Amino acid sequence: MECAEAIVVEVIETSKQFNTVVVGLGKTGFACARYLAAQGTSFAVTDNRDEPPMLGKMQAALPDVPLFLGGFDESLLMSTDHLLLSPGVSLQEDAIVKAIDSGVEVYGDIELFCRNITAPVIAITGSNGKSTVTTLVAEMARAADLNVVEGGNLGTPALDLLGDNEPDVYVLELSSFQLETVSSLNAIASVVLNVSPDHMDRYEGLTEYKTAKERIYNGNGTIVINLDDPAVASMARNQRTCVDFTLFDPLPGDYGVRDYDGERWIVKGEDKLIPVNDLHIKGEHNIANVMAAMALAETLNCPRAAMLSVLRSFPGLQHRCQWIA
């Protein structure tokens, strides 16, 4: 017992030296650690696994950063100013709950990202399709000669997108886990593509999952709404600028699908945009993805011709259903 008590005391004394503790050493946690190290922040990293995925890279890149592995020590988490929570770690974890109750500020990489940028953000979430829409919006912005970087849940972690020179726009794919710890996101435009039962091991039910997704609509920007998904269509609009899309006949100013002499077209209001058969990505879900991407890119003043050019050449993402010439 004397040995165990000595270890606890050592951890408590050590943790008081840390401004921040990174919780979770996966891809996102490692990005958080690199960012904090570059800022000169005093921090430690903890993971409840003995050998987290990025352990080797962490030890090679930042050998002097203290690591606490194999469990979450409550004294460590409660004796710091900030917990930088990886998306794979639940806010309901007992040690996290106790840290929050003790007054420790808890947030994730997206919140830290939002606190350190001035360029506008396009934000995308949904149970399905978010990687496709993120890629489409980024390509449409590039076709409009905008300097754009994309990442988040897809590809590059958000903090790794930060550099000396900001782009014209960030395009972020965000998961419900990432959105749980965000309070400063104020996207120029955002979308919840759809909501279907997913991650139910993390949430008590679909309502809680929907609530996490809906956080992407916090702020003052344009919100894009999928009218065909009841969970999304019922989300609060709060007198915001809204653009809706549907696979059916749209209202004026919204995106939809209309039949002209037996040929289906994507339209905006009364404007014909592109025949569905001209798209290389197939399926009703991809028609919805295309309309969401156009609605988002439109807020960046991307010319319609640039958006349509991307749509006529976009083959889809690797490891998904792709068009092959």
Q: What is the pLDDT of residues 60-86, one digit of tens each?
A: 999 999 999 999 999 999 999 999 999
Q: pLDDT value at position 12?
A: 42
Assign residue 30 a region (left: φ > 0; alpha: ψ between -120 and 50; beta: otherwise): alpha
Cβ atoms of residues 96 and 83 within 8 Å: yes
Question: What Rg do the C-alpha atoms of the chain give, in angstroms?
Answer: 22
Interhelix angle 130-143/304-313, nearest 10 degrees:
130
Q: pLDDT value at position 14?
A: 45
Q: How far apart are CA 208 and CA 123, in angstroms?
A: 20
Q: Which ranges of the chain have pLDDT less than 50?
A: 1-15, 321-325
Domain ranges of the chain: 2-107, 112-313
Q: pLDDT value at position 55?
A: 98
The set of catalytic residues is 130, 153, 199
Class of domain 112-313: alpha beta
Q: pLDDT value at position 4?
A: 30
Q: How far apart are CA 230 and CA 206, in angstroms?
A: 12
Helix or strand (DSSP H, E) at 201: none
Q: pLDDT value at position 238?
A: 80
Cβ atoms of residues 82 and 88 within 8 Å: no
Which residues on neighbouring strands pair with residue 148, listed in sequence order? 169
Q: Which CATH superfamily is domain 2-107 in?
A: NAD(P)-binding Rossmann-like Domain (3.40.50.720)
Q: Do domains 2-107 and 112-313 have the same CATH topology?
A: no
Whether pTM exceeds 0.85: yes
SS3 258: strand
Percent of the chain exceeding pLDDT 70 equals 92
Sort strands 189-192 and 121-125 into parallel, antiparallel or unpaired.
parallel
Amino acid at the residue 274: I
